[in-house]
Amino acid sequence: MIEVKGITKYYGHFKALDGVSFHVDKGEVLGFLGPNGAGKSTTMKILTTYISASEGTASVGGHDVHAFPQQVRRRIGYLPETPPLYGDMTVEDYLKFAGHARGLRGAELKRRLESVVTDCGLRPKFKARVVELSKGFKQRTGLAQALIHDPDVLILDEPTSGLDPRQIIEIRKLIERLRENKCIIFSTHILQEATAVASRLVIVNGGRKVADGTVEQLAAQSSDTLVVRVLVKGGDDALSESLSRLDTVKSVEKQQGPSGYTRYLLTVSGGQRGSREACEAVALQVQSRGFLLAELAPEKQTLEHIFLNLLQKAPMPEKPTWKAEDKPAAQTEKDAAPAATSAVPDDPNATAAATRLTQPATETDLYHPVDANSDTATDMGEKPDPDKTLFSPRPPDRGDA
């Protein structure tokens, strides 16, 4: 339903998007993932015809966004990064306005209004003025506006930003309910979000696509070292010694556990499989040495790992890519094209050798493992972590350009 082919966008001389291509089918929920300033919003603005791509084509439902903007807009429901609300209107008036503007009238408008108010949980604030709403209700009103005409394609720019965990779950559930017969793209820099809702992920960084696939596919692409946490009743240095001799174990760190217990942190190679093998061997080893295994916790390969790993692997520009001023645009584009293709790891074997960011084991506490039932969101952008340096610098603030 959505087909994006090699879109590039310059803001002045700044290259915000660099040959991004992807497609989304009906019934799919695409998670659009990337650090701040990666080009997520720019891509969405191009798809919604708000801005025009400098190069490349994009189509929605078979209509080219540039040639047939009206047809495209009719099919799209769009929630911009900031919900587009008129503060002086009531929720009711605002949604009626949105419906009218979408060509809904009379009984149909009433029916749709009922539907979105129920879906978005706006009933309690239906008569309230928008300016008096809490952030969560504002976001929901913005979402209701995007849904009022029951569009085939839903484009949501960070639909859960600034919401509390309970509200995030509500929005997620709503997306779950809507996914049938629709094609949904939502952007986020919150990783759980992407795994919880999206059927497929596209990861962008520095204006380039660095990965595209299901979570499983991305995990397979990303060769990884993982941490296994072992808690043993008793335990000694000799055990530590023998654990470190296991096949997939790279290193062992012995820590003080609760009284009478010893904790071992094992760094294992070989991804999920290596981790499973290590667990089996550890269980055997501990028992054969006469200790009791109290806890064996293999860290799941989290999306954070995959994400950081992919960002690491992709050849990253030292600084934001600027168009060379003395070169004609076409030539610059030609130069940039090979770099863009090599940025996407097509061959999993080739990428296996790539170096990975070594994370201290304690990071597993910082980044909660992905858990579908987890209510809390890990907001990567907010943490004062060293990984921030991984992300390319944010492009200069250019307003809404």
Partner 1 sequence: MLPIYMREMKGYFESLMGIGIIGAFVVVMMMLSVMLDPLGGGGDWFARGELSMRTFFGVFPWVAAVVVPAVSMRLWADDRRQATFEMLMTLPIPTWKVALGKYFAGVTFLAAMLAGTVAYPLMLSQFGQPDWAPVIGGYIACFLLGAAFVAIGLFVSGLTENQALAFFLGMLICLGIVGMGEMRGLLGELARTNPESALMLLISIPLVSIGFLAAAVGRDKAVGVAIGALAVIGNMIAYAWSGAQDTASKATNSEDIAATVETATRGTTQAGEIVVSALAQIAVLDHFSEIQRGVVNTNGLVFFAGLVVFFVLLNVWSLESRRYS
Q: Smallest distance from the beta carbon of 138 to partner 1, in angstroms?
A: 11
Provide the edge-to-edge strand list for the sheet that holds 183-188.
76-79, 153-157, 183-188, 29-33, 200-205, 208-213
25 contacts 60 by C-beta, under 8 angstroms? no
Query: Which lies closer to partner 1 via its Cβ, residue 280 or residue 400?
Result: 400
CB of 180 to partner 1, least distance (A): 24
**Phi/psi of residue 347, nearest 5 degrees:** -105, 110
CB of 232 to partner 1, least distance (A): 56
CB nearer to partner 1: pick between 155 and 219:
155
CB nearer partner 1, residue 134 or residue 214: 134
CB 82, min distance to partner 1, A = 4
Q: Which two tokens stand for residue 286?
A: 């501990």
CB atoms within 10 A of CB 22: 19
- Three-state SS for 319-358 is CCCECCCCCCHHHHHHHHHHHHHHCCCCCHHHHHCCCCCC
Distance separating alpha carbons of residues 229 and 231, to the nearest angstrom = 7
Nearest distance, CB of residue 88 and partner 1, angstroms:
6
Nearer to partner 1, 84 or 270 (CB): 84
Cβ pair 391, 35 in contact under 8 A: yes
Angle at 116 between CA 111 and CA 121, to 5 degrees: 130
What's the closest the beta carbon of residue 380 comes to partner 1, in angstroms? 24
Number of H helices, E strands in the chain: 14, 14
Indicate the residue among 10 and 32 with the shorter CB distance to partner 1: 10
| CB of 360 or CB of 396, closer to partner 1 | 396
Q: Which is nearer to partner 1, 103 or 360 (CB)?
A: 103
SS3 of residue 267 by DSSP: strand
Closest approach, Cβ 114 to partner 1, in A, equals 19
Q: Are 4 and 55 in contact (CB under 8 A)?
A: no
Q: Which residue's CB is nearer to partner 1, number 297 or number 401?
A: 401
Q: Can you tell me whether residue 130 is helix, strand or coil?
A: helix
- What's the CA angle centered on 131, arms 128 and 135, to 5 degrees? 95
**Footprint of partner 1 on this chain (CB under 8 A)?**
11-12, 45, 48-52, 70, 73-74, 76, 78, 80-89, 93, 97-98, 100-103, 145, 399-401
Of 76, 13, 14, 63, which Cα lies nearest the Cα of 39?
14
Q: How far is the CB of 16 from partner 1 (least distance, A)?
A: 12
